[in-house]
A = this chain, B = another copy of it.
Protein backbone atom coordinates (compact mmCIF):
# COMPACT_ATOMS: atom_id res chain seq x y z
CA UNK A 1 0.00 0.00 0.00
CA UNK A 2 1.05 3.61 -0.51
CA UNK A 3 2.96 5.45 2.24
CA UNK A 4 2.18 9.06 1.25
CA UNK A 5 -0.47 10.50 -1.01
CA UNK A 6 -0.26 13.96 -2.52
CA UNK A 7 -3.69 15.56 -2.53
CA UNK A 8 -3.70 17.86 -5.56
CA UNK A 9 -6.75 19.82 -4.46
CA UNK A 10 -8.20 22.08 -1.76
CA UNK A 11 -11.45 22.58 0.17
CA UNK A 12 -13.84 19.89 1.36
CA UNK A 13 -12.69 17.24 -1.11
CA UNK A 14 -9.06 17.57 0.00
CA UNK A 15 -10.28 17.16 3.59
CA UNK A 16 -12.31 14.11 2.55
CA UNK A 17 -9.27 12.48 0.93
CA UNK A 18 -7.05 13.30 3.92
CA UNK A 19 -9.54 11.51 6.18
CA UNK A 20 -9.42 8.38 4.04
CA UNK A 21 -5.60 8.46 4.12
CA UNK A 22 -5.57 8.79 7.92
CA UNK A 23 -7.88 5.80 8.26
CA UNK A 24 -5.57 3.75 6.06
CA UNK A 25 -2.39 4.78 7.89
CA UNK A 26 -1.22 6.75 4.85
CA UNK A 27 0.30 10.23 5.31
CA UNK A 28 -1.86 12.82 3.51
CA UNK A 29 0.29 15.53 1.90
CA UNK A 30 -1.44 18.82 1.13
CA UNK A 31 -0.51 21.63 -1.22
CA UNK A 32 -1.68 25.17 -0.71
CA UNK A 33 -1.76 28.47 -2.55
CA UNK A 34 -0.95 31.75 -0.83
CA UNK A 35 -4.69 32.15 -0.13
CA UNK A 36 -4.96 28.75 1.56
CA UNK A 37 -2.24 28.58 4.22
CA UNK A 38 -4.85 28.46 7.00
CA UNK A 39 -7.40 26.37 5.09
CA UNK A 40 -8.84 23.25 6.65
CA UNK A 41 -7.27 20.91 4.11
CA UNK A 42 -3.82 22.08 5.25
CA UNK A 43 -4.72 21.69 8.92
CA UNK A 44 -5.94 18.14 8.34
CA UNK A 45 -2.87 17.00 6.41
CA UNK A 46 0.23 15.24 7.70
CA UNK A 47 2.52 17.40 5.59
CA UNK A 48 1.83 20.54 3.58
CA UNK A 49 3.75 22.60 1.02
CA UNK A 50 3.15 25.94 -0.70
CA UNK A 51 2.72 25.88 -4.49
CA UNK A 52 2.26 29.49 -5.52
CA UNK A 53 -0.01 32.47 -5.78
CA UNK A 54 -3.76 32.44 -5.14
CA UNK A 55 -5.00 32.22 -8.77
CA UNK A 56 -5.32 28.52 -9.56
CA UNK A 57 -3.37 28.87 -12.79
CA UNK A 58 -0.37 29.76 -10.65
CA UNK A 59 -0.90 27.02 -8.06
CA UNK A 60 -3.48 24.22 -8.19
CA UNK A 61 -3.29 23.97 -11.99
CA UNK A 62 0.53 23.80 -12.09
CA UNK A 63 1.53 20.21 -12.87
CA UNK A 64 5.24 21.07 -12.57
CA UNK A 65 4.84 22.35 -9.01
CA UNK A 66 2.74 19.35 -7.99
CA UNK A 67 5.42 16.99 -9.29
CA UNK A 68 8.01 19.01 -7.43
CA UNK A 69 6.21 18.66 -4.11
CA UNK A 70 5.52 14.96 -4.74
CA UNK A 71 9.22 14.31 -5.26
CA UNK A 72 10.32 16.49 -2.36
CA UNK A 73 7.89 14.92 0.09
CA UNK A 74 8.44 11.40 -1.23
CA UNK A 75 4.84 10.75 -2.27
CA UNK A 76 4.12 7.45 -4.00
CA UNK A 77 0.63 8.38 -5.19
CA UNK A 78 -1.49 11.40 -6.09
CA UNK A 79 -5.23 11.93 -5.66
CA UNK A 80 -6.62 14.70 -7.87
CA UNK A 81 -10.04 15.13 -6.18
CA UNK A 82 -12.57 16.77 -8.52
CA UNK A 83 -12.21 19.97 -10.53
CA UNK A 84 -8.81 21.55 -11.15
CA UNK A 85 -6.67 18.91 -12.92
CA UNK A 86 -8.80 15.88 -12.03
CA UNK A 87 -9.81 15.18 -15.63
CA UNK A 88 -6.62 16.38 -17.26
CA UNK A 89 -4.72 13.46 -18.81
CA UNK A 90 -1.49 15.49 -18.68
CA UNK A 91 -1.44 15.24 -14.90
CA UNK A 92 -1.98 11.48 -15.06
CA UNK A 93 0.86 11.26 -17.61
CA UNK A 94 3.18 13.42 -15.51
CA UNK A 95 2.52 11.11 -12.57
CA UNK A 96 3.39 8.06 -14.66
CA UNK A 97 6.62 9.70 -15.83
CA UNK A 98 7.59 10.46 -12.25
CA UNK A 99 6.77 6.99 -10.95
CA UNK A 100 3.80 8.22 -8.92
CA UNK A 101 0.55 6.26 -8.96
CA UNK A 102 -2.32 8.41 -10.23
CA UNK A 103 -5.50 7.62 -8.29
CA UNK A 104 -7.89 7.59 -11.21
CA UNK A 105 -8.19 6.07 -14.66
CA UNK A 106 -5.34 5.79 -17.15
CA UNK A 107 -4.69 8.91 -19.27
CA UNK A 108 -5.88 7.01 -22.34
CA UNK A 109 -9.19 5.97 -20.77
CA UNK A 110 -9.59 9.53 -19.52
CA UNK A 111 -9.18 10.86 -23.04
CA UNK A 112 -11.52 8.28 -24.49
CA UNK A 113 -14.29 9.23 -22.05
CA UNK A 114 -13.40 12.72 -20.83
CA UNK A 115 -14.18 14.60 -24.02
CA UNK A 116 -17.91 14.62 -24.53
CA UNK A 117 -17.68 14.08 -28.24
CA UNK A 118 -15.24 11.19 -27.93
CA UNK A 119 -17.42 9.66 -25.22
CA UNK A 120 -20.49 9.92 -27.43
CA UNK A 121 -18.69 8.13 -30.24
CA UNK A 122 -17.68 5.38 -27.84
CA UNK A 123 -21.19 5.17 -26.40
CA UNK A 124 -22.59 4.85 -29.93
CA UNK A 125 -20.27 1.89 -30.56
CA UNK A 126 -21.21 0.34 -27.21
CA UNK A 127 -24.90 0.66 -28.11
CA UNK A 128 -25.74 3.01 -25.24
CA UNK A 129 -28.80 5.15 -26.11
CA UNK A 130 -28.16 8.89 -26.60
CA UNK A 131 -30.02 12.18 -26.93
CA UNK A 132 -30.24 13.21 -30.61
CA UNK A 133 -27.56 15.75 -31.44
CA UNK A 134 -24.17 16.29 -32.95
CA UNK A 135 -21.24 14.84 -31.11
CA UNK A 136 -18.58 16.86 -32.93
CA UNK A 137 -17.50 20.38 -32.00
CA UNK A 138 -19.27 23.03 -34.06
CA UNK A 139 -17.07 25.49 -35.91
CA UNK A 140 -19.16 28.66 -36.08
CA UNK A 141 -22.47 30.26 -35.19
CA UNK A 142 -23.95 29.70 -38.63
CA UNK A 143 -23.36 25.93 -38.38
CA UNK A 144 -24.95 25.90 -34.94
CA UNK A 145 -28.02 27.69 -36.29
CA UNK A 146 -28.34 25.24 -39.16
CA UNK A 147 -27.94 22.13 -36.98
CA UNK A 148 -30.35 23.47 -34.36
CA UNK A 149 -32.94 24.08 -37.08
CA UNK A 150 -32.59 20.46 -38.12
CA UNK A 151 -32.93 19.05 -34.58
CA UNK A 152 -35.73 21.45 -33.68
CA UNK A 153 -35.64 23.96 -30.81
CA UNK A 154 -35.21 23.94 -27.82
CA UNK A 155 -31.55 22.83 -28.05
CA UNK A 156 -28.69 22.80 -25.60
CA UNK A 157 -25.25 24.29 -26.34
CA UNK A 158 -22.56 22.46 -24.34
CA UNK A 159 -18.82 22.89 -23.88
CA UNK A 160 -16.70 20.02 -25.23
CA UNK A 161 -14.40 20.35 -22.20
CA UNK A 162 -17.29 21.19 -19.91
CA UNK A 163 -18.67 20.19 -16.58
CA UNK A 164 -20.79 21.75 -13.84
CA UNK A 165 -22.94 23.66 -16.32
CA UNK A 166 -20.12 25.99 -17.34
CA UNK A 167 -20.25 26.88 -21.02
CA UNK A 168 -23.75 25.40 -21.22
CA UNK A 169 -26.71 27.37 -22.57
CA UNK A 170 -30.34 26.46 -23.23
CA UNK A 171 -31.53 27.98 -26.50
CA UNK A 172 -35.33 28.11 -26.67
CA UNK A 173 -35.67 29.69 -30.11
CA UNK A 174 -33.58 30.71 -33.12
CA UNK A 175 -33.30 34.40 -32.21
CA UNK A 176 -31.60 33.51 -28.90
CA UNK A 177 -28.82 31.56 -30.62
CA UNK A 178 -26.33 34.42 -31.27
CA UNK A 179 -26.23 35.59 -27.64
CA UNK A 180 -26.19 32.02 -26.29
CA UNK A 181 -23.38 31.05 -28.68
CA UNK A 182 -21.28 34.04 -27.59
CA UNK A 183 -21.85 33.38 -23.88
CA UNK A 184 -21.22 29.64 -24.07
CA UNK A 185 -18.00 30.00 -26.07
CA UNK A 186 -16.62 32.76 -23.85
CA UNK A 187 -17.54 31.00 -20.63
CA UNK A 188 -16.05 27.71 -21.85
CA UNK A 189 -12.86 29.47 -22.92
CA UNK A 190 -12.64 31.18 -19.58
CA UNK A 191 -13.33 28.09 -17.51
CA UNK A 192 -11.46 25.40 -19.43
CA UNK A 193 -9.18 27.24 -21.87
CA UNK A 194 -11.14 25.47 -24.61
CA UNK A 195 -13.99 27.35 -26.28
CA UNK A 196 -15.33 24.47 -28.39
CA UNK A 197 -19.04 23.70 -28.05
CA UNK A 198 -21.53 21.19 -29.46
CA UNK A 199 -25.31 20.88 -29.67
CA UNK A 200 -28.01 18.44 -28.67
CA UNK A 201 -31.79 18.31 -28.52
CA UNK A 202 -33.22 19.48 -25.25
CA UNK A 203 -35.55 16.97 -23.58
CA UNK A 204 -38.68 18.39 -21.98
CA UNK A 205 -38.59 17.45 -18.32
CA UNK A 206 -35.76 14.97 -18.03
CA UNK A 207 -34.25 13.71 -14.81
CA UNK A 208 -30.51 13.65 -14.30
CA UNK A 209 -29.65 10.18 -13.03
CA UNK A 210 -26.06 8.99 -12.90
CA UNK A 211 -24.43 5.63 -12.27
CA UNK A 212 -21.38 5.26 -10.02
CA UNK A 213 -18.90 2.79 -11.45
CA UNK A 214 -15.71 1.38 -10.00
CA UNK A 215 -13.16 -0.78 -11.75
CA UNK A 216 -9.93 -2.45 -10.72
CA UNK A 217 -6.92 -3.41 -12.85
CA UNK A 218 -7.93 -7.05 -12.93
CA UNK A 219 -10.86 -6.60 -15.27
CA UNK A 220 -13.59 -6.23 -12.65
CA UNK A 221 -16.01 -3.33 -13.05
CA UNK A 222 -19.09 -2.85 -10.88
CA UNK A 223 -21.87 -0.29 -10.66
CA UNK A 224 -22.81 1.01 -7.22
CA UNK A 225 -26.40 2.12 -7.76
CA UNK A 226 -27.48 5.49 -9.03
CA UNK A 227 -27.72 9.09 -7.86
CA UNK A 228 -30.62 11.32 -8.80
CA UNK A 229 -29.27 14.85 -9.33
CA UNK A 230 -32.27 16.54 -10.92
CA UNK A 231 -32.44 19.43 -8.48
CA UNK A 232 -30.16 21.88 -10.27
CA UNK A 233 -29.84 25.63 -10.47
CA UNK A 234 -28.63 26.76 -13.87
CA UNK A 235 -27.31 23.25 -14.60
CA UNK A 236 -25.44 23.11 -11.30
CA UNK A 237 -26.41 20.26 -9.01
CA UNK A 238 -27.84 21.47 -5.71
CA UNK A 239 -29.37 18.35 -4.13
CA UNK A 240 -28.44 14.74 -4.87
CA UNK A 241 -29.94 11.54 -3.60
CA UNK A 242 -29.66 7.78 -3.82
CA UNK A 243 -31.63 5.83 -4.78
CA UNK A 244 -33.64 7.83 -7.31
CA UNK A 245 -37.30 8.12 -6.27
CA UNK A 246 -38.35 6.68 -9.67
CA UNK A 247 -35.83 3.86 -9.84
CA UNK A 248 -36.93 0.25 -10.45
CA UNK A 249 -34.60 -2.75 -10.12
CA UNK A 250 -34.79 -3.55 -13.84
CA UNK A 251 -34.03 0.03 -14.88
CA UNK A 252 -31.11 0.15 -12.43
CA UNK A 253 -29.73 -3.04 -13.89
CA UNK A 254 -30.13 -1.77 -17.47
CA UNK A 255 -28.47 1.57 -16.73
CA UNK A 256 -25.80 -0.03 -14.57
CA UNK A 257 -24.94 -2.58 -17.23
CA UNK A 258 -24.82 0.11 -19.94
CA UNK A 259 -22.44 2.14 -17.77
CA UNK A 260 -20.21 -0.86 -17.10
CA UNK A 261 -20.24 -1.77 -20.80
CA UNK A 262 -19.11 1.74 -21.73
CA UNK A 263 -16.36 1.66 -19.10
CA UNK A 264 -15.22 -1.73 -20.36
CA UNK A 265 -15.04 -0.43 -23.95
CA UNK A 266 -12.84 2.42 -22.74
CA UNK A 267 -10.57 0.23 -20.61
CA UNK A 268 -11.66 2.24 -17.61
CA UNK A 269 -10.35 1.68 -14.07
CA UNK A 270 -10.93 3.39 -10.71
CA UNK A 271 -14.06 5.43 -9.84
CA UNK A 272 -16.14 7.16 -12.47
CA UNK A 273 -19.66 8.34 -13.11
CA UNK A 274 -21.80 7.81 -16.18
CA UNK A 275 -24.46 10.49 -16.41
CA UNK A 276 -27.83 9.89 -18.08
CA UNK A 277 -31.00 11.81 -18.74
CA UNK A 278 -34.15 9.84 -18.01
CA UNK A 279 -37.51 10.84 -19.48
CA UNK A 280 -41.05 10.35 -18.18
CA UNK A 281 -41.32 6.94 -19.80
CA UNK A 282 -38.09 5.87 -18.03
CA UNK A 283 -36.06 5.86 -21.25
CA UNK A 284 -32.46 6.73 -20.49
CA UNK A 285 -30.00 8.65 -22.66
CA UNK A 286 -26.25 8.81 -22.23
CA UNK A 287 -25.04 12.28 -21.31
CA UNK A 288 -21.37 12.17 -20.39
CA UNK A 289 -18.76 10.48 -18.21
CA UNK A 290 -16.98 12.11 -15.30
CA UNK A 291 -13.65 10.36 -15.04
CA UNK A 292 -13.15 11.16 -11.35
CA UNK A 293 -14.76 11.19 -7.93
CA UNK A 294 -17.98 13.26 -7.87
CA UNK A 295 -18.90 15.95 -5.37
CA UNK A 296 -21.98 13.89 -4.52
CA UNK A 297 -20.20 10.57 -3.87
CA UNK A 298 -21.26 10.52 -0.16
CA UNK A 299 -24.87 9.56 -0.94
CA UNK A 300 -23.58 6.42 -2.66
CA UNK A 301 -21.29 5.72 0.30
CA UNK A 302 -24.18 6.00 2.73
CA UNK A 303 -26.48 3.58 0.94
CA UNK A 304 -23.79 1.04 0.02
CA UNK A 305 -21.68 1.27 3.21
CA UNK A 306 -18.58 1.51 0.99
CA UNK A 307 -15.82 4.11 1.31
CA UNK A 308 -15.25 5.18 -2.30
CA UNK A 309 -12.05 7.10 -1.61
CA UNK A 310 -10.45 4.17 0.17
CA UNK A 311 -11.53 1.88 -2.67
CA UNK A 312 -10.05 4.32 -5.20
CA UNK A 313 -6.76 4.18 -3.34
CA UNK A 314 -6.84 0.37 -3.09
CA UNK A 315 -7.50 -0.22 -6.78
CA UNK A 316 -4.88 2.40 -7.74
CA UNK A 317 -2.42 0.35 -5.66
CA UNK A 318 -3.29 -2.65 -7.83
CA UNK A 319 -5.60 -4.45 -5.39
CA UNK A 320 -8.62 -6.32 -6.70
CA UNK A 321 -12.10 -5.09 -5.79
CA UNK A 322 -12.98 -6.85 -2.51
CA UNK A 323 -16.55 -7.60 -3.65
CA UNK A 324 -18.51 -8.57 -6.75
CA UNK A 325 -21.60 -6.96 -8.30
CA UNK A 326 -23.88 -9.38 -6.46
CA UNK A 327 -22.48 -8.29 -3.08
CA UNK A 328 -23.53 -4.67 -3.57
CA UNK A 329 -26.59 -4.02 -1.39
CA UNK A 330 -28.36 -0.67 -1.32
CA UNK A 331 -29.79 0.06 2.10
CA UNK A 332 -32.05 2.98 2.98
CA UNK A 333 -31.91 6.40 1.37
CA UNK A 334 -29.39 9.26 1.42
CA UNK A 335 -29.78 12.91 0.39
CA UNK A 336 -27.11 15.55 0.12
CA UNK A 337 -27.36 19.32 -0.11
CA UNK A 338 -24.49 21.54 -1.21
CA UNK A 339 -23.85 24.46 1.08
CA UNK A 340 -22.52 27.47 -0.78
CA UNK A 341 -21.32 30.89 0.35
CA UNK A 342 -23.87 32.71 -1.78
CA UNK A 343 -26.93 34.87 -1.29
CA UNK A 344 -30.15 33.40 -2.72
CA UNK A 345 -31.94 36.72 -2.07
CA UNK A 346 -29.40 38.54 -4.23
CA UNK A 347 -29.37 36.38 -7.36
CA UNK A 348 -27.06 33.81 -5.70
CA UNK A 349 -24.09 36.14 -5.74
CA UNK A 350 -21.06 34.62 -4.05
CA UNK A 351 -20.67 35.87 -0.49
CA UNK A 352 -17.04 35.69 0.54
CA UNK A 353 -15.91 36.79 4.00
CA UNK A 354 -14.82 35.56 7.38
CA UNK A 355 -16.98 33.04 9.21
CA UNK A 356 -17.68 34.70 12.57
CA UNK A 357 -19.64 31.93 14.22
CA UNK A 358 -20.95 28.58 13.22
CA UNK A 359 -23.22 25.87 14.57
CA UNK A 360 -23.16 22.51 12.83
CA UNK A 361 -25.72 19.73 13.04
CA UNK A 362 -25.11 16.28 14.50
CA UNK A 363 -27.01 13.28 15.81
CA UNK A 364 -28.30 10.20 14.02
CA UNK A 365 -27.91 9.74 10.27
CA UNK A 366 -26.08 13.03 9.63
CA UNK A 367 -22.79 13.46 7.81
CA UNK A 368 -21.04 16.76 7.23
CA UNK A 369 -18.16 17.06 4.76
CA UNK A 370 -16.76 20.56 5.11
CA UNK A 371 -13.77 22.62 4.10
CA UNK A 372 -14.29 25.51 6.49
CA UNK A 373 -14.26 26.38 10.19
CA UNK A 374 -15.10 29.24 12.55
CA UNK A 375 -12.61 32.00 11.86
CA UNK A 376 -11.94 30.85 8.29
CA UNK A 377 -12.11 33.38 5.49
CA UNK A 378 -13.97 32.25 2.35
CA UNK A 379 -11.95 33.80 -0.45
CA UNK A 380 -13.10 35.05 -3.83
CA UNK A 381 -10.49 32.97 -5.60
CA UNK A 382 -12.20 29.61 -5.62
CA UNK A 383 -15.53 27.87 -5.89
CA UNK A 384 -17.72 29.05 -2.97
CA UNK A 385 -18.69 25.49 -1.87
CA UNK A 386 -18.52 25.42 1.93
CA UNK A 387 -19.35 21.78 2.28
CA UNK A 388 -22.02 19.13 1.97
CA UNK A 389 -24.63 18.09 4.45
CA UNK A 390 -25.88 14.53 3.96
CA UNK A 391 -28.66 12.65 5.73
CA UNK A 392 -29.35 8.93 5.71
CA UNK A 393 -32.74 7.46 6.57
CA UNK A 394 -34.31 4.04 6.35
CA UNK A 395 -36.76 5.54 3.82
CA UNK A 396 -36.72 8.61 1.56
CA UNK A 397 -39.18 10.33 3.88
CA UNK A 398 -36.93 9.76 6.87
CA UNK A 399 -33.90 11.04 4.94
CA UNK A 400 -35.82 14.20 3.95
CA UNK A 401 -37.03 14.96 7.48
CA UNK A 402 -33.55 14.29 8.88
CA UNK A 403 -31.91 16.59 6.37
CA UNK A 404 -34.51 19.26 7.07
CA UNK A 405 -33.86 18.91 10.80
CA UNK A 406 -30.10 19.13 10.22
CA UNK A 407 -30.33 22.18 7.92
CA UNK A 408 -32.39 23.92 10.60
CA UNK A 409 -29.59 23.21 13.09
CA UNK A 410 -26.95 24.62 10.73
CA UNK A 411 -26.17 28.26 11.37
CA UNK A 412 -23.35 30.49 10.23
CA UNK A 413 -22.67 34.21 10.58
CA UNK A 414 -20.27 36.51 8.75
CA UNK A 415 -21.19 35.20 5.30
CA UNK A 416 -24.46 34.40 3.58
CA UNK A 417 -25.30 30.86 2.59
CA UNK A 418 -28.00 29.06 0.66
CA UNK A 419 -28.98 26.95 3.72
CA UNK A 420 -32.43 28.49 4.22
CA UNK A 421 -33.36 27.68 0.61
CA UNK A 422 -32.93 23.97 1.38
CA UNK A 423 -35.58 24.22 4.09
CA UNK A 424 -38.01 25.42 1.42
CA UNK A 425 -37.00 22.72 -1.06
CA UNK A 426 -37.20 19.92 1.50
CA UNK A 427 -40.71 21.06 2.53
CA UNK A 428 -41.94 21.46 -1.05
CA UNK A 429 -44.73 18.97 -1.85
CA UNK A 430 -43.43 18.37 -5.40
CA UNK A 431 -39.95 17.60 -4.07
CA UNK A 432 -41.39 15.35 -1.37
CA UNK A 433 -43.35 13.43 -4.05
CA UNK A 434 -40.13 13.14 -6.09
CA UNK A 435 -41.61 15.10 -9.00
CA UNK A 436 -38.34 16.72 -10.02
CA UNK A 437 -36.52 17.29 -13.31
CA UNK A 438 -33.45 19.26 -14.34
CA UNK A 439 -35.29 22.57 -14.74
CA UNK A 440 -37.52 22.01 -11.72
CA UNK A 441 -35.63 24.26 -9.33
CA UNK A 442 -35.14 27.06 -11.88
CA UNK A 443 -38.92 27.09 -12.44
CA UNK A 444 -39.83 26.61 -8.78
CA UNK A 445 -37.33 29.11 -7.40
CA UNK A 446 -39.51 32.26 -7.34
CA UNK A 447 -42.17 30.39 -5.36
CA UNK A 448 -39.61 28.90 -2.96
CA UNK A 449 -37.94 32.26 -2.35
CA UNK A 450 -41.34 33.86 -1.77
CA UNK A 451 -42.27 31.07 0.70
CA UNK A 452 -39.14 31.91 2.63
CA UNK A 453 -40.41 35.45 3.10
CA UNK A 454 -44.08 34.67 3.74
CA UNK A 455 -45.51 36.09 6.93
CA UNK A 456 -47.51 33.69 9.04
CA UNK A 457 -48.50 33.50 12.69
CA UNK A 458 -45.16 31.97 13.60
CA UNK A 459 -43.32 34.74 11.77
CA UNK A 460 -44.75 37.37 14.08
CA UNK A 461 -42.98 35.56 16.90
CA UNK A 462 -39.80 35.29 14.84
CA UNK A 463 -39.95 39.03 14.26
CA UNK A 464 -40.49 39.62 17.98
CA UNK A 465 -37.48 37.44 18.74
CA UNK A 466 -35.39 39.45 16.26
CA UNK A 467 -36.51 42.78 17.74
CA UNK A 468 -35.78 41.82 21.33
CA UNK A 469 -32.45 40.20 20.48
CA UNK A 470 -31.33 43.29 18.56
CA UNK A 471 -32.26 45.45 21.54
CA UNK A 472 -30.52 43.11 24.00
CA UNK A 473 -27.43 42.98 21.80
CA UNK A 474 -27.29 46.76 21.29
CA UNK A 475 -27.79 47.52 24.98
CA UNK A 476 -25.11 44.99 25.89
CA UNK A 477 -22.70 46.70 23.51
CA UNK A 478 -23.60 50.14 24.83
CA UNK A 479 -22.91 48.97 28.35
CA UNK A 480 -19.61 47.40 27.28
CA UNK A 481 -18.59 50.65 25.55
CA UNK A 482 -19.55 52.50 28.73
CA UNK A 483 -17.22 50.28 30.72
CA UNK A 484 -14.31 52.16 29.12
CA UNK A 485 -13.09 49.67 26.58
CA UNK A 486 -12.81 46.74 28.95
CA UNK A 487 -13.60 43.49 27.16
CA UNK A 488 -16.71 41.94 28.64
CA UNK A 489 -17.56 38.31 28.18
CA UNK A 490 -21.07 37.79 26.92
CA UNK A 491 -23.56 37.83 29.76
CA UNK A 492 -25.45 34.63 30.29
CA UNK A 493 -28.86 35.96 31.03
CA UNK A 494 -31.27 38.86 30.57
CA UNK A 495 -31.88 38.67 34.30
CA UNK A 496 -28.24 39.18 35.06
CA UNK A 497 -28.20 42.12 32.66
CA UNK A 498 -31.15 43.51 34.52
CA UNK A 499 -29.39 43.22 37.85
CA UNK A 500 -26.36 45.04 36.49
CA UNK A 501 -28.56 47.73 35.12
CA UNK A 502 -30.27 48.23 38.45
CA UNK A 503 -26.87 48.51 40.08
CA UNK A 504 -25.93 51.12 37.47
CA UNK A 505 -29.08 53.04 38.26
CA UNK A 506 -28.81 52.68 42.03
Residues of B within 8 A of A208 (CB): none
A23 at the interface (CB under 8 A from B): yes
Q: In whole angstroms, what is the CA distance A64 to B402 when docked? A: 34
Point out the residues of chain B lying under 8 angstroms from A364, CB to CB.
16, 19-20, 298, 301, 307, 367, 369
Nearest residue (CB) in B for A302 is: B364
A485 proximity list for chain B (CB < 8 A): 485
User: Which listed residue, B16, B19, B366, B492, touches A38 by the CB 8 Å rule?
Assistant: B492
The interface residues of chain B lying within 8 Å CB-to-CB of A366 are 367
A343-400 residues with Cβ-Cβ distance < 8 A to B are: 359-360, 362-370, 373-375, 377, 394, 398
- The reply on A37 being an interface residue by CB < 8 A is yes
Q: Would you call A331 an interface residue if the criterion is a C-beta within 8 Å of the partner chain's C-beta atoms?
A: yes
Question: Contact partner of A367 among B307, B363, B369, CB < 8 A?
Answer: B363
Residues of A within 8 A of B (CB): 15-16, 19-20, 22-25, 37-38, 44, 298, 301, 305-307, 331-332, 359-360, 362-370, 373-375, 377, 394, 398, 401-402, 404-405, 408-409, 485, 487, 490, 492-493
A411 CB to nearest chain B CB (Å)? 10
Q: With a CB–CB cut-off of 8 A, which chain B residues contact A38?
A: 492-493
Q: Would you call A369 and B375 a contact (CB within 8 A)?
A: no
Within the complex, what minimum Cβ distance (angstroms) separates A16 from chain B? Answer: 6
A16's contact among B301, B359, B363, B394, by CB below 8 Å, is which?
Answer: B363
Task: Give the complex CA separation of A398 and B394 in angstroms.
Answer: 22
Considering the complex of A and B, which 4 residue pairs feature the smallest CB-CB distances, nearest first?
A: A362-B368, A22-B405, A19-B363, A23-B401
Indicate which residue in B37, B331, B370, B493 contacts A305 across the interface (CB closer than 8 Å): B331
Which residue of chain B has the shortest Cβ distance to A406 in the bound complex?
A: B19
- Please report the C-alpha to C-alpha distance between residue A429 and residue B152 in the assembled complex, in whole angstroms: 68
Q: Are B305 and A15 in contact (CB under 8 A)?
A: no
Q: What is the CB-to-nearest-CB distance from A15 to chain B, in angstroms, rounded to a whole number? A: 7
Q: Which residue of B lies closest to A389 (CB)?
A: B362
CB contacts (< 8 Å) of A23 on chain B: these are 398, 401-402, 404-405
Provide 14 A-B residue pairs closer than 8 Å at the C-beta atoms, listed in order of the A residue: A16-B363, A22-B401, A24-B401, A25-B401, A37-B492, A38-B493, A306-B394, A362-B369, A363-B367, A363-B369, A364-B367, A364-B369, A366-B367, A374-B374
Residues of B within 8 A of A25 (CB): 401
Q: A38-B492, A359-B373, A362-B369 are known; give 16 further A-B pairs, CB within 8 A.
A: A16-B363, A16-B364, A19-B364, A20-B364, A22-B408, A24-B401, A44-B409, A307-B365, A307-B394, A360-B360, A362-B367, A363-B369, A365-B367, A374-B374, A377-B492, A487-B487
Q: A306 to B360: give the CA distance in the assembly, Å.
A: 23
Interface contact B401-A305, CB-CB below 8 Å? no
Instruction: Decide yes or no: A15 and B363 within 8 Å by CB, A22-B405, A37-B493 being known contacts.
Output: yes
Q: Which residues of B contact A490 (CB under 8 A)?
A: 375
Q: Is there an interface contact between B305 and A332, defined as CB atoms closer than 8 Å?
A: yes
CA–CA, A332 and B302, complex, Å? 12
Cβ distance A115 to chain B, nearest Cβ, rounded Å: 32
- In whole angstroms, how far apart are the Cα atoms of A22 and B298 in the complex? 24
A16 contacts which chain B residues (CB < 8 A)?
363-364
Contacts of A367 in B (CB 8 A): 362-366
Contact residues in B for A493 (Cβ distance below 8 Å): 37-38
Distance in angstroms from A307 CB to nearest chain B CB is 6
Taking CB atoms, residues of chain B closer than 8 Å to A370 are: 362
**When chains A and B are docked, how far (Å) is the Cα of A23 from the Cα of B332?**
16
Q: Closest B-chain residue to A40, C-beta based? A: B359
- Whole-angstrom CA separation of A314 from B24 in the bound complex: 40
Give A483 Cβ to nearest chain B Cβ, in Å: 12
Chain B: CB-nearest residue to A373? B359
